[in-house]
Amino acid sequence: MTTIDELGTELGGLRGRRVLVRSDLNVPLDGDTITDDGRIRAALPTIAELAARGARVVVAAHLGRPDGWPDPRYSLAPVARRLGELLGSKIAFATDTVGSSAHAVVTSLADGGVALLENVRFDPAETSKDDQVRGAFADRLAALADAFVSDGFGVVHRKQASVYDVALRLPAAMGGLVATEVGVLERLTGTPRRPYVVVLGGSKVSDKLGVIDNLLGKADKLVIGGGMAYTFLEAQGHEVGTSLLEEDQVARCRSYLERAEGQGVELLLPTDVVVADRFAADARPEIVPVHAIAPDRMGLDIGPESQKAFAAAVADARTVFWNGPMGVFEFDAFAAGTRAVAQALTRIDGLSVVGGGDSAAAVRRLGFDEKAFGHLSTGGGASLEYLEGKTLPGIDVLDEGKEGHRPFKRRWW
């Protein structure tokens, strides 16, 4: 894939060139207040590098799911302010994406200037399944720029106009963030140092089925917590009360337990959990073994014995991939399991990868130093699809049309 250096050579230099950068700036908001700016900080190096080279940087991004119409709740205006603070210079903000404001803002950019377009998902064409509709929107985006840099790893698994179709219309390169993310994931899927441990959590087991299916027999241990663990516990014959449960996946979870045993893969589930009578920050926590969950109780975290077992499973690993919290980490009473796993990852002698999404948010919320981990991914969904062995359209497109191009594939043992 083309790098920014190679793109500069291809264009005869970047100074004065309008470079459209697709970043992932999908940050959580409380009104106009950004509650976690991790993705903005991750996007900053590529934007700053292009500006330092004299490019006229035009940033495109989305926020939330506004359903294809301008919804002020999902405006990127607060992001523009924070990006300017971090960059140390004013960011020009366009109040539309490809309309008169966007054209005026881009036209007025000086060399080294940075502009942010309004939420690309305010236009339904961005996420359209119709190639022609999506392509027409990409044409209008491409008209704003001389070149394209893909740096939003959190969206490269989406075949969307600002991710995929624009790259077919402009000289295109991968940004530094995407290059780093892909490099780390190749280490996980190529020849990882062993023992290789995968820790999966989060609410729904159905979100992780493809990863579990691919990693059985590839990872040395699979550790499963969070809401998804209760479907596995049900498969083992336990009563799970009012805990999260996907009844249609119980048989499949049972088959995974049988496969793991047959293939000699250690699959760890909680042996005790923290339950409560309701989903609330002030609910009274109670620790019970997994065989003693009352019918009117829901599991909201793994218990202390499980915390020790999960930490021990990670302790001797040389490669760890973690995606999904162990409990409702947003509530202090149910954050201990996630904290224990995060703490264990900071101590391993090897590569620890936090797979984006809620896991990365939990690391920051619980006060861990991000530098204590080998890599904090910005794209939970993209990371999972990579580990499932799927093609990532936003990566593969960067090579389309190039001589000798072959689709970007996952490598397994």
pTM (predicted TM-score): 0.89
Catalytic annotation, pick one of 82, 204, 254, 308: 204
225 is in an annotated binding site: no
> Which uninterrupted H or E stretch holds 107?
helix 100-107
- Residues β-bridged to residue 302: 273
pLDDT above 60: residue 145: yes
Question: Could you tell me which of 99, 101, 91, 105 has the C-alpha nearest to residue 23?
Answer: 91
- Cα separation, 75 vs 87, in Å, equals 20
**303, 287 Cβ separation under 8 angstroms:** yes
264 is in an annotated binding site: no
357 is in an annotated binding site: yes
24 is in an annotated binding site: yes
202 is in an annotated binding site: no
- Cα separation, 122 vs 70, in Å, equals 5
Give the pairing type, strands 298-302 and 29-30.
unpaired
> Which uninterrupted H or E stretch holds 42?
helix 38-52
Per-residue pLDDT reduced to its tens digit, 276-291:
999 999 999 999 999 9
Q: Which residues contact 154 (CB under 8 A, 6 or more apart)?
A: 24, 26, 39, 356, 378, 379, 380, 381, 382
Question: Active-site residue 381, yes or no?
Answer: yes
Instruction: Fill in the DSSP letter of residue 165.
Output: I
Q: Using pLDDT thresholds of 50, 70 and 90, give the confidence band for residue 405.
A: very low
Q: Using pLDDT thresholds of 50, 70 and 90, give the confidence band for residue 407.
A: very low
pLDDT above 70: residue 175: yes
25 is in an annotated binding site: yes
Q: Using pLDDT thresholds of 50, 70 and 90, give the confidence band for residue 400.
A: low
90 is in an annotated binding site: no
Q: What is the structure's pLDDT at 372?
A: 93
Catalytic annotation, pick one of 176, 226, 357, 380: 357
Catalytic annotation, pick one of 17, 18, 22, 39: 39
Q: Using pLDDT thresholds of 50, 70 and 90, give the confidence band for residue 218.
A: confident
| Tokens (6 digits) for 23 | 């970043």
pLDDT above 60: residue 413: no
pLDDT above 70: residue 170: yes
299 is in an annotated binding site: yes
Q: Using pLDDT thresholds of 50, 70 and 90, give the confidence band for residue 231.
A: very high
| Tokens (6 digits) for 397 | 């497109």
- For the chain, percent of residues with pLDDT exceeding 90: 85
Question: Active-site residue 204, yes or no?
Answer: yes
| Tokens (6 digits) for 14 | 């970047």
Catalytic annotation, pick one of 54, 210, 374, 381: 381
